Structure 1
Amino acid sequence: MAKAKTKIAYVCSDCGANYQKWQGQCGECKAWNTITEFREASSTTKSVNAAVTRNKNAGYTGALSNGVQRISGVQIENATRVSTGLSELDRVLGGGITLGSVVLISGDPGSGKTTLLTKVAEVMSQSMSTLYVTAEESLSQWAKRGIERLKLNFNEDNFLLSDTDCIEDIVDQCLENNVRFLIADSIQAFESNQAEGTAGGVTQVKICAKILNRLCKQHGITLILVGQVNKNSQMAGPQTLKHIIDTAIHIEVNDASVRILRADKNRFGDTEQVGIFQMTEKGMFSVDNPSRLFLSGSEEHFEGSAISVIKDGARNLLIEIQALATEVEGEKSIRNCIGISYSRLSLITAVLKKHGGIRTYYDINISLVGGLKMSDSETSTDMAVMAALLSSINSKPVPQDSVFIGEIALTGEIRQIPQIVPRVREALSHGKKQIYIPAVAYHKSMQQFVKKGQSIHPLKNIKELIEALS
């Protein structure tokens, strides 16, 4: 028998980027000394098919194919969605999880991946045969979390639990028990008997993902894969994994309790939706009104605080910006930024000094409530940052019912920002009474959202802002 040909490739162990030859630094993730050689036999692809089915007519990611067809003969099927029991997760998925789809969830250790999916498993077990494969902890550890800490109530007739790390065993368990919903935690912990290398290696991850994907597509099983991340909080393993799955969701950790879900791929919905959860001792709970997490909620009126509205994905969130300006104690003023871009703060203080005539030689500390982080390109909070800074410098609180939305230009003008109408509407819906926006963005249609006691104030430049706060 002729010996199977071996394909040699060079792959980054952090991000999975492929190269034709070895090099010191990965061009994708910029990591050093992470590119390693691995060998994949040409017979490996055959083993993927053999692990699930012997049918040679495999089409869409392993689903059985009907061969070549005319477009008029293609039957269009509407995706069937079911709720996961978590409204914020349903939002990110596009209105619920699509039956028969493959979803990849990643996040830093401790971000709540297993806690979230344990709740999903409980909900799914009420209506369909569900299997949770936990290869990273014992069955006792998993059950203790689900039953004792989270107080979940699984349907004993529909729920199965396994701690195997063999991908072939998982396939057999699914087929023997007619499993309709599978959670595999995590893809980097599984091994296939038909592939070389150890668990978590490039070859094993690719083959295990392909086997599970083909199993689900051919037998109508809904799959959620858990993925580990690298040191940059990016999905670890080969990037081909992203092409195999239907939806990729990442869990961001902003502070001790807030979790934000984002989808960077979704074949059954858009990637603009953002899900917000709060982690507690009893599990992760959907936050119906996320703006309250990013506002201090204090009834006492403090100086150095101002509220703005940001757009995160498809959601508009009220956030609170806090500033503290104190006399310089050293030879050079200090600028500390938490969640706010340092370059944006430098620009705002320079404009305030040049066009506002305000002395800014202070030690300045500025932060966002709730642990949010904004990119350098986020400019909609400029006016709120300036309002908070002026409040601290003048030792005069900003009215709590005020909201500031607008970009500060180098000329001292207040510039328009994208999609300002939904932001204004969000602020008004939270009962805020004084909404300050760029004059160039104001138009009469905004008045339809204004209720008694509320008003919108268009401002042309920072001098008008300073006057409004005096």
Structure 2
Amino acid sequence: MAKSSVQYLCSECGWSGLKWYGRCPQCGEWETIEEFHEAKPASASRTAAPGRTSRTLPASAIQTAAKPITQVSQEDVARLHTGYGEFDRVLGGGIVPGSVTLVAGEPGIGKSTLLLQTAGNIARAYPNQTVLYLSGEESQSQVRMRAGRIDATCENLLLASTTDLSTVLALIEREHPTLAIVDSAQTIISQDVDGISGGSTQVREVASALIDTAKTMNIPVLLVGHVTKDGSIAGPRTLEHLVDVVCQFEGDSQTALRMLRAVKNRFGPTDEVGCFDMSGEGIEEVSDPSGLFISSADAAVEGTCVTFTLDGHRSLPIEVQALVTDSALPAPRRAVNGVDPSRIAMLTAVLYRHGRVNLLSKDLYVSTIAGGQAKEPSCDLAIVAALASAAKSSPIARTTCAIGEISLTGQVRPIPRLEHRLREAARLGFTTAVTAPLRKQLHIPGLNIIEASSLRDALEALGLRSSNRRVSADAHIPTERK
């Protein structure tokens, strides 16, 4: 009896087996096991002995010889520049020839627009070569309409609209472009395997065929990928293992800011982030996004404080705003945006116990500017300072920033790469920085560094000195010191 080629594959973790389960035995996710039919290899690639089938080539047919690693050339590969400095930063300096890059993101976030503009930039930079854009979601006229709107039209930019994998591979082999873009992996169908478009079987087969073509012809391929409702990349998890680079294109639909992050990169770092601005004319890179996350007000405003976070190798200023009001409800309200809600509850208790500022019965509203994220522990001191400033109606100077993590004991703890953050603060014009005690002495021109070992010291340095009152351990309001 012939062995069945049917297997069952988990779309979340890549587990495979011969039996279907409602729950994956490896990752524990429900309803992720799907039927998988392995593709039949071409007969020319097989050597069959009597009575059995084998994929192994005879020794005489092997063309590639194994060699010692010390004899392998170390020549630097000339990367293909995308025309976006931010995109090149995320990729590690540009697109590596023969690589396959997966760009994933939510619907309407701008994946196709970014890659179409990238295709136009490369086509203009290399007028004697071609760039191939293959769309399985839009017709040629629809792509042409968008290209005209974002100024990405060039004679050597070739468009094709197809959902057949064989046609895609044939076009790449015939045109031999400098860059091939496939939009998207979930819309291309292979006739050699069963399954619906976008299923695990089809996506895996399409990715394997494109990777094989890219490596064989040394042509870089940018592959668009869809995401599921929870934000993970659609299709089997093995798709991310097969490709060379995985990038996430993120952003808030309410703002024009877009972030490109490298989740996996075989040719560069994975902690870089690129900033872009989405508009009706396309996507523009933001080489210095420091001014996006702070307000433009010149005068000091109560309830605001600026901190500095790290996103990859880039330090970004984040302005935290807080509003404190009397509560008319039995349970005071806590509304946050861009801040961890559980962190707010903890910091409120620490501020009450060690900072002598009682906000337990108040409604608290904490937010960041322009969709910035203040969820790093280094933002604790700025959040507490903004809350204390709002509660005391005492503004903090616009040229002062606060960077540090606060523990449950009221101590201000040091954070990683503090020097990098402080130098960025000095570059943006900040003159005072309240931080945790330094491990080594730093001298940054134009910046006065105030070290605070406790929350009380930090509030005093920020001009938020509390009154001469102490907090009673068994009361909900401060009591007079005896």
TM norm structure 1: 0.89
Distance in 2, matches of 1:235 and 1:34, equals 14
Deviates more, 1:95-104 or 1:65-74: 65-74
Q: Which runs of 5+ in 2 are unaligned?
A: 47-54, 465-482
Does the CA-based 8 Å contact 1:264-1:271 persist in structure 2? yes
Per-residue CA deviation, residues 360-409 of structure 1 (Å, 9 max, x unaligned), is: 1210010111213354xx21011100110011001121111111000111
Q: Secondary structure at the match of 1:331?
A: coil
Per-residue CA deviation, residues 195-217 of structure 1 (Å, 9 max, x unaligned), is: 22222121211111111111111
Pick closer, same or farther for the CA change 1:121–1:56 going to 2, 3 Å. farther
Q: Secondary structure at the match of 1:337?
A: strand
Pick closer, same or farther for the CA change 1:146–1:394 going to 2, 3 Å. same
Q: Secondary structure at the match of 1:340?
A: coil
Pick closer, same or farther for the CA change 1:12–1:373 going to 2, 3 Å. farther
- AA paired with 2:153? N
- 2:141 counterpart of 1:111: no
- Residues 90-109 of structure 1: matches in 2 within 5 Å? 90-109=88-107
Distance in 2, matches of 1:109 and 1:343, equals 30
| Displacement after TM superposition at 1:410 (Å) | 1.3
Equivalence for 1:370: 370
Does the CA-based 8 Å contact 1:180-1:220 persist in structure 2? no
Distance in 2, matches of 1:416 and 1:11, equals 45
Deviates more, 1:249-258 or 1:232-241: 249-258
- Residues 24-423 of structure 1: matches in 2 within 5 Å? 24-26=22-24, 31-40=29-38, 43=40, 45-46=41-42, 66-126=64-124, 127=126, 128-147=129-148, 149-154=149-154, 156=155, 158-254=156-252, 255-360=254-359, 361-375=361-375, 378-423=376-421
- AA paired with 1:303? E
- AA paired with 2:460? E
**CA RMSD, aligned part only?**
2.4
Distance in 1, matches of 2:121 and 2:313, equals 26
Equivalence for 1:456: 449
Please point out which of 411, 434, 437 is paired with 2:435.
437
Does the CA-based 8 Å contact 1:131-1:159 persist in structure 2? yes
Distance in 2, matches of 1:15 and 1:146, equals 37
Distance in 2, matches of 1:290 and 1:29, equals 38
Q: Which runs of 5+ in 1 are unaligned?
A: 58-63
Distance in 2, matches of 1:231 and 1:29, equals 19
- AA paired with 1:170? V
- Count of paired positions: 447
- AA paired with 1:290? P
Structure ID, larger Rg: 2
Q: Secondary structure at the match of 2:5?
A: strand
Distance in 1, matches of 2:400 and 2:225, equals 43
| Displacement after TM superposition at 1:28 (Å) | 7.0
Equivalence for 2:477: none
| Displacement after TM superposition at 1:461 (Å) | 1.0
Does the CA-based 8 Å contact 2:37-2:193 persist in structure 1? no
Pick closer, same or farther for the CA change 1:280–1:344 going to 2, 3 Å. same
- AA paired with 2:457? E
Does the CA-based 8 Å contact 1:150-1:282 persist in structure 2? yes
Distance in 2, matches of 1:404 and 1:18, equals 50
| Displacement after TM superposition at 1:74 (Å) | 2.5
Deviates more, 1:171-180 or 1:130-139: 171-180
Q: How many percent of aligned residue pairs carry the same amino acid?
A: 37
Equivalence for 1:60: none
Per-residue CA deviation, residues 29-83 of structure 1 (Å, 9 max, x unaligned), is: 7653232223325x2x448979xxxx988xxxxxx96132222332333222121
Distance in 2, matches of 1:73 and 1:66, equals 15
TM norm structure 2: 0.87
| Displacement after TM superposition at 1:24 (Å) | 2.5
Distance in 2, matches of 1:171 and 1:243, equals 21
Distance in 2, matches of 1:285 and 1:435, equals 32
Pick closer, same or farther for the CA change 1:28–1:393 going to 2, 3 Å. farther
